[in-house]
Structure 1
């Protein structure tokens, strides 16, 4: 059995750049049992092929209610209000829930949003065009996806400052647990009131469409409805915010790649794929549990064992692509797992890709002198193993 040393996953250097640590694990095997000081062991999957297999293995489940009641783990998504969303269940419930919202996120449907995303992008950058320095997260990377997902769902855009604060608290693993619980309750209450308002006065947003599925065809329970709305709002924000932030940092640290994009702007879609692979926003897939004893990557995992697929490590596997630690926007697209794989592949991936492409291209074209306002080593990430989220992104625009 492969074993990894106990390492402090909140340590600043590791959070800033975990790839060498993951490479050291991967050099000793694609799957490792990692012993934790304050919890049961967890099995890390760091190889690309093994990650794709684990993400599609029906013996590894998301829904903890499928495990024996004795010794059943606490569902970590419950505090976020996501335990009855498609993120927290398995087929056939997952298939039913995903089918209800998938029409809103097809590549064709998302492409129709291109003009509106450009308008929002231009408006946000117009607002800071005369400023020399800004926190790019606050003025651009966070409000852009917030406005887009609010309009898609039918959430009042004017409320975004309120629920953005709650969402930040939900993902702040360094903060007190009481703050996480309070933020979860506040967000649930807000969305519960919003759902009630949409039931009384429907509109063209996705929340009203989900209500129609709940009230007319009885295909959603109340818990599933609220959990699904929470997922769409939170996931529609967090993934894209941190994709734009991390991609901006990566490009600023590789000016040769920016220069290439200025002369070959048609490469932007490929650049987004490479940026997703190189330093994607989601470090680890949501936890899965073994329903039976199994062998994963040659390593025994007992029934009830917790398995974490490390997406960031899988995307830097030399078996996936040559020289994986180098950013290369000319790289031939590879089947990275930045958005997961299998039935839980991120439903909003087409939207996140489009927002990132428009946001990054417009940003770098409008501000050719864009640069970090602090040394790259001074940037800090929130101590959160799920997302690679910057605390701030100070830049100089001109």
Structure 2
């Protein structure tokens, strides 16, 4: 099948609502296929099998750092200045820069530090459910799945929680740029995000607090461990990744439970299954459909295909997590699946730093939701649900529920 045909099919609305049949077909045909990124009009190769995806994610022939590519490579020529100013973070770096950047923030996300957040996560979830319960219905994303993790990460960072709607607006534009090629909104959102953090940092320098933002600024000032651009970029990454993953983990997870009532009842009957249920939610409809870009440093052979120097490669985490060679009956949603070595949070050195926090938030919030709302159900016909447009994040636009 031609590159243009594959491209138009992958980004088509009907595929966005359920990419799995497309990936199943591609996975059978070839482990690596070439398409065109419709946003930036650059070539992109997509890996869809589990074994090959894991290999790619630890293959040092590919770089996360665009500055290592030739000046005339498509990836560098299509860069947007305002996004570059918030993109110098650990997800866009190779060792040793990646190691240095990740070490600075990793202490805030150790299992012990995350576990200490359990009472606060519980209190926020209870408050949100208190607000929603008298109404009898809600958009689960707007009223519960979004405000919970964005409040937690904003409090950790020291970012005003009242600005959360603005974060969401900027994030949606940056994660889902327009297919029509109009990069104006993307440029604007990047610039506004940059200015927001610069102003916040100026306030924090004048009034330090006991929060992650102050700690990161101190790390910057005590020996050039974080440059000013790296600091802003790290704040952007932590704020966006710190809520976006959990929003869609919870939304997709509730959708999967409502779609499989026998699994929902199984979990209600035995809430201790919540940990394995969350792992299956991550595998079945994880919050991240593909990784971010890696680029070939030189012409590179990858499973029978030659990736030209400077061209990008993505691993489809969703396709890999439905590979029948790794997961028996991959289309079956089973909250007791074992083993379940999914890669929904990535793999290798760029494995999601916030995975323990996302898991904690989801297990706490979903158990409380099911306990307090025993009649939870979809408030619309499932055919009315729409999924987000891009291939990076996989999540619903809305999830109306009644209880």
TM-score bracket for this pair, using the shorter chain length: over 0.9
- Is 1:2–1:299's contact at 8 Å kept on the other side of the alignment? no
Structure 1 residues 36 and 181, CA gap change in structure 2 (3 angstroms): closer
Cα 1:35–1:70 change in 2 (3 A) is closer
1:21 aligns with 2:22: yes
Q: Identify the residue that residue 400 of structure 2 maps to in structure 1.
A: 394
Deviations 1:304-361 (A, max 9, x none): 2211111110010011110011100110042211111111111101101111111111
Q: Matches of 1:350 and 1:164 in 2, distance apart?
A: 22
CA contact (8 A) 1:288 1:306 kept: yes
Q: Cα distance, 1:395 vs. partner?
A: 0.9
Question: Counterpart of 2:58?
Answer: 56
TM-score normalized by the length of structure 2: 0.94
Question: 1:369 maps to what in 2?
Answer: 375
Within 5 A, what are the aligned runs for 1:70-149? 70-73=72-75, 74-75=78-79, 79=83, 81-149=85-153
Distance 2:82 2:289 in 1: 20
Within 1, Cα distance between the matches of 2:81 and 2:122? Answer: 33
Instruction: Give 1:3 shift.
Output: 7.0
The answer to whether the Cα contact below 8 Å between 1:149 and 1:236 also exists between their aligned partners in 2 is yes
Q: Distance in 2 between matches of 1:363 and 1:218?
A: 45
The DSSP-based 3-state class of the residue aligned with 2:103 is helix
TM-superposed deviation, 1:78 = 5.7
**CA displacement 1:90-120 (0-9 Å, x = unmatched):** 1111110000000001111101111110000
> Does the 8 Å CA contact 1:64/1:72 hold for their aligned counterparts?
no
1:169 to 131, 148, 173: 173
Q: C-alpha distance in 1, partners of 2:19/2:345? A: 18
Sort the Cα spacing of 1:168 and 1:270 in 2 relative to 1 into closer, same or farther, 3 A.
same
Q: Which has the higher helix share?
A: 2
Q: Structure 1 residues 95 and 145 mapped into 2: Cα distance closer, same or farther (>3 Å)?
A: same
Distance 1:21 1:39, change over 3 A: same
Cα distance change on mapping 1:319 and 1:148 into 2, 3 Å: same
Please state whether the residue corresponding to 1:295 is helix, strand or coil: strand
Q: Hey, what's the Cα distance between the residues in 1 that align with 2:84 and 2:161? A: 21
Aligned to 1:129, the other structure's residue is in SS state: helix
- Report the Cα offset of residue 376 of structure 1: 1.5
Distance, in Å, in 2 between the alignment partners of 1:39 and 1:12 is: 19
Distance 1:15 1:216, change over 3 A: same
Selected match of 1:219 from 218, 225, 235: 225
CA distance in 1: counterparts of 2:144 and 2:267, whole angstroms: 21
Partners of 2:333 and 2:84 lie apart in 1 by 34
How far is 1:33 from its partner?
A: 2.2
Q: 1:277 aligns with which of 276, 283, 288?
A: 283
Q: Distance in 1 between matches of 2:163 and 2:308?
A: 46
How far 1:218 sits from its partner (Å)?
1.6
Q: Which residue of 1 aligns with 2:321?
A: 315
What pairs up with 1:166-315 in 2 under 5 angstroms? 166-174=170-178, 177-315=183-321
Aligned with 1:328 (options 320, 334, 358): 334
The 8 Å contact of residues 133 and 394 in structure 1, kept in 2 or not, is answered as yes
**Given that residues 4 and 25 in structure 1 are in contact (C-alpha distance below 8 angstroms), is that contact kept between their aligned partners in structure 2?**
no
Query: Does the aligned pair in 1 maintain the 2:174–2:186 contact within 8 Å?
Result: yes
RMSD: 2.0
Write out per-residue CA displacement over residues 140-193 of structure 1, whole angstroms, 9 at most, x where no aligned residue.
Answer: 111000110011111122222332222233234348532222222112111111
Q: Deviations over 1:48-106 (max 9, x none)?
A: 01101101111111111111122251347963754201111111111100000000011
SS in 2 for 1:343: helix
Give structure 1 stretches of 5+ with no counterpart: none
1:6 partnered with 2:10 = no
What is the rounded CA distance, in whole Å, between the counterparts of 1:66 and 1:108 in structure 2?
37
| Matched length | 397
Question: What displacement does 1:393 show?
Answer: 1.1
> Could you tell me whether the CA contact under 8 Å between 1:174 and 1:382 is conserved in 2?
no
Is the CA contact 1:77–1:88 (under 8 Å) kept in the aligned structure 2? no
Moved more, 360-369 or 67-76: 67-76
Unaligned runs of 5+ in 2: none
Following the alignment from structure 2 to structure 1, what is the Cα–Cα distance between the partners of residues 79 and 394?
22
- Hey, what's the Cα distance between the residues in 2 that align with 1:330 and 1:238? 26
Contact 1:4 1:33 in 2 (8 A): no
